[in-house]
Amino acid sequence: MRTLLNILNFILGGFFTTLAWLLATVLSVVLIFSLPFTRSCWEITKLSLLPFGNTAVHVDELYPENRSAVLSSGGTLLNVVWFVLFGWWLCLSHIVTGVAQCLTIIGIPPGIANFKLAVIALWPVGRRVVPVELAEQLRAHPDRRFYR
């Protein structure tokens, strides 16, 4: 079912949002000052391509032993800069795609996935794309590390 929904998302507009994320990834590499955003762009590009079966979790959930106030503050600052440079137009692309998908009856599940991606597009720094099953394990056992 996930494969079918991923194909449906791709056909009904997910291709364009994935291209937008790839453009943001390339821009973050070309503009030297935005290199810290490249990893987050690439992670969310994967999620935009295959939103069903994957989810984004914060690195603090993946590696709870590495939590640091300094890194969290730096991530927040990077997310603010991200919003100004890239976040708002990527969020709008997901909202427009989600609305267009929801206008078709068959496109409602991919549309909802795009609305979730719109929220992630606003604050992506520090997120990693993992399978849904791993995210459920992390949330069920927050003190244990499963991802390597």
Alpha-carbon distance 41 to 25, whole Å? Answer: 5
**Burial label, 107 (beta-carbon count in 10 A; 0-12, 13-18, 19+):** buried
Q: Angle CA(47)–CA(50)–CA(51) in degrees, nearest 5? A: 65
Q: What percent of the chain is predicted at pLDDT more than 90?
A: 42
> How many folded domains does the chain comprise?
1
56: in domain: yes
Is the pLDDT reported for residue 95 higher than 90? yes
147: in domain: no
146: in domain: no
13: in domain: yes
Domain with 38, as residue range(s), is 2-140
The mean pLDDT value of the chain amounts to: 85
Q: Give residue 19's pLDDT.
A: 94
Instruction: Give the tens place of pLDDT for each residue, 48-71.
Output: 999 999 998 887 777 766 666 656
96: in domain: yes
34: in domain: yes
